[in-house]
Structure 1
Amino acid sequence: METEFITITEYCINYHIDPSFMVSLEESDIVSFPVVEKEKVILTDQLAELDKYVHLHYDLQINIEGIDAIRHLLQRVHDMQEEIKELQNELHLHK
C-alpha cells in the first residue's frame, strides 16, 4: 500500500499558508514532516491535525507557543478521558 501525501509547497499554495508557519510547526516539534524525493511532505493522515493548527493560527491569531500549549492540554484531556473509561470498566467488573 502506497502512502498518500501532499508536498508542503502544494499545501501552502492551495491553502494560502505561509511556508514559514510550517517550518515553525516543525521546529517546535508540533508536527514532523517526512521527506519524499528531497521534498518535505504532509501525510494524508496528518491533514486533519494540521488543519486545526492552521485554524488556530490564522483564524484565532494564536502563536506557535499557544498552539503547542493547546495541543498539550488537549492531549492531557484525551489521556484523562481514556483513563476514566478504563476505571469505569474496572468498576463495572467489580460490581
Structure 2
Amino acid sequence: MNLENLIPLPELCSLYKMEMSFFTNLSEMGLVEIKTVETISYIDSDCIYEIEKMIHIYQDLDVNIEGIDVVFNLLLKMDTLQSEIISLKNRLRLYES
C-alpha cells in the first residue's frame, strides 16, 4: 500500500493535542476512515480539512462526537440543496431569455 498520502494517527494526535479515542470515535461514526498498515493507523491527507473543522467544532464549540455527526450531515445536506438551487436557477434562465 502506498503511504504517500497517509498521515500516521499518532502524529495527528500530537500535532492537534487530541486523544487517539477522538479519532477512533470519529471513525466509528463514519466521519473519517482510519486505515491500518502493519499495526500503525493512518488517515488520508485529503481528509485533513474536514478533520480540522471537526476538531474546532469539538474544542471551540464544545460539541460532542454525535453533535459533530449531526453538523456534518446538515452541512452535506446544505451543500446538496445549494447545488440544486444553482441548477434550478440555470434552468430558469433558459426560460427567461
Q: Same fold (TM over 0.5)?
A: yes
Equivalent position amino acid for 1:31 in 2: V
Identity of aligned residues (%): 35
After the TM superposition, which segments of 4 or more aligned residues of structure 1 sit over 4 Å from their partners?
none
CA distance in 1, matches of 2:72, 2:45: 19
Unaligned stretches of 5+ residues in structure 1? none
Closer, same or farther: CA 80–33 of 1 in aligned 2, 3 Å: same
Q: 1:7 maps to what in 2?
A: 8
The gaps in structure 2 that reach 5 residues or longer are: none
Name the CA distance, whole Å, in 2 between partners of 1:4 and 1:36: 13
Give aligned pairs, total. Answer: 95
TM-score (normalizing by structure 2): 0.88
Map of 1:16 onto structure 2: 17
Deviation of 1:9 after TM superposition, in Å, equals 0.7
- Higher deviation after alignment, 63-72 or 28-37: 28-37
State the distance in 1 between where 2:60 and 2:86 align.
33
